[in-house]
Amino acid sequence: MKLLDIGEIAERSGVAPSALRYYEEIGLITSAGRKGLRRQFGPETLLQLSLITLGKAAGFSLQEIAGMFGKDGQPDLPRDQLHARADALEAQIRELTVLKDALRHVADCPAPSHLECPKFQKLLRAGSITAEV
Amino acid sequence: MKLLDIGEIAERSGVAPSALRYYEEIGLITSAGRKGLRRQFGPETLLQLSLITLGKAAGFSLQEIAGMFGKDGQPDLPRDQLHARADALEAQIRELTVLKDALRHVADCPAPSHLECPKFQKLLRAGSITAEV
DNA sequence: CTGCCAATTCAAGCGAGCTTGAGGTCAAGG
DNA sequence: CCTTGACCTCAAGCTCGCTTGAATTGGCAG
């Protein structure tokens, strides 16, 4: 099995070496061992980093991401909790869709004040996050 | 026009008063004026806060959110930039979908190591975030 | 008019997620 | 064998997004 050192991982994943060391420190990833002082990572680390990057973009904390996929990329969680996570993601996807539609609306609607535009308000309310206005 | 003071806004939006003051400080929202010392907010602030909350959940920084919708809830950006933002959101939605599917996969796939499961790898690669493994 | 209580300011502090810098080690190429 | 440079550790520092606390003000009910 071919091992990669931190610079290689950094370059191919786009994650800075300092960040990779930090991730290891908090137990989010694990190095396969050391060559001298140098950490050696297995290639699966690249896949894990894809997941981590993905999760971060989604607004999850590193702790939450660690909870979804253990250090080794295996889930620590029981199935139903994973599905619950997936459900939460679906909800978030719906919210993002609302935001996206809101943006498209403001880009296109000629109304003077979007916040007063009924269509716009309806969009937001569809997000179900809206406070009781 | 009915104005609300900060406590009312906080309660109805779920955003803490200290956070609201902070948002005003950084120019993300604007108060309609003061009654004595007390900030008074127009009801449209509640809608703005919905957008802000939405944007935060999506992983945007307050600066980025401010860029999408100006202080007054009106966009500062030209149409095409707004559409570009929306496009970026769509991309993010696709990524989230990948993450969601990945979670469902790990919940259901009986394979010993998901990172080695071809289906799983295909899922990740579909996210197009994956480094060249 | 009094007193309460919600609101104010301002400075300091906090947790997350890294980055930076100083000083040290060591694997590999010439 | 020697140099180079990528790696190491550890502590300190930084940005973001707030929260907390102390000291003060002032709107409003009684």
Is the confidence at residue B130, as pLDDT, over 90?
A: no
Contacts of B106 in chain A (CB under 8 A): 69, 74-75, 82
Rounded to 10 deg, the angle between the A79-108 and B44-57 helix axes is: 130
Is the confidence at residue A43, as pLDDT, over 90?
A: yes
User: Would you list the domain boundaries of chain B?
Assistant: 4-68, 79-126
Over residues A93-101, the mean pLDDT reads: 91
Q: How much is the pLDDT for A133?
A: 42
CB-based contact (8 Å) between A108 and chain B? yes
Q: How much is the pLDDT for B131?
A: 44
d(CA B75, CA B93): 22
Q: A82, B103: Cβ pair inside 8 Å?
A: yes
Contacts of B133 in chain A (CB under 8 A): 12, 43, 46-47
* A119: CB within 7 A of chain D nucleic strand: no
Structure-block tokens of residue A132:
């009781």
Interface test with A, best of B4, B50, B68, B117 (most A CBs within 10 A): B50
Q: How much is the pLDDT for A130?
A: 47
Q: How much is the pLDDT for B68?
A: 85
Structure-block tokens of residue B124:
């990740």
Q: What is the mean pLDDT of chain A?
A: 86
Q: B115, A12: Cβ pair inside 8 Å?
A: no
Instruction: Enumerate residues 23 to 42 of chain A having a beta carbon within 8 A of any beta carbon in chain B.
Output: none
Is the confidence at residue B64, as pLDDT, over 80?
A: yes
Q: How much is the pLDDT for B132?
A: 44
pLDDT in tens, B83-96: 988 998 999 999 89
Q: How does residue B33 score in pLDDT terms, banded at 50, 70 and 90? A: very high
pLDDT in tens, A53-82: 988 988 899 999 998 886 666 666 778 888
Measured between CA atoms, the residue of chain B closest to residue A132 is B12
Radius of gyration of chain A (CA): 21
Q: How much is the pLDDT for B78?
A: 78
Q: How far is A39 from chain B (nearest CA, A)?
A: 19
Among residues A33, B58, B35, which one has the least CA distance to residue B68?
B58
Q: Which residues pair with B4 in a beta bridge?
A: B41
Q: How much is the pLDDT for A76?
A: 65
Rounded to 10 deg, the angle between the B44-57 and B6-13 helix axes is: 50
Q: How much is the pLDDT for A131?
A: 45
Under a CB-based contact definition with an 8 Å cutoff, are residues A129 and B50 in contact?
A: yes
Class assignment of domain A4-68?
A: mainly alpha
Q: How much is the pLDDT for B120?
A: 82
Is the confidence at residue A1, as pLDDT, over 80?
A: no
Q: How much is the pLDDT for B118?
A: 85
Is the confidence at residue B52, as pLDDT, over 90?
A: yes
Q: B133, A46: Cβ pair inside 8 Å?
A: yes
Q: How much is the pLDDT for B127?
A: 63
Q: How much is the pLDDT for B71?
A: 63
Is the confidence at residue A10, as pLDDT, over 90?
A: yes
Percent of chain A whose predicted confidence (pLDDT) is above 70? 88
Q: How much is the pLDDT for A132?
A: 43
Is the confidence at residue B104, as pLDDT, over 80?
A: yes
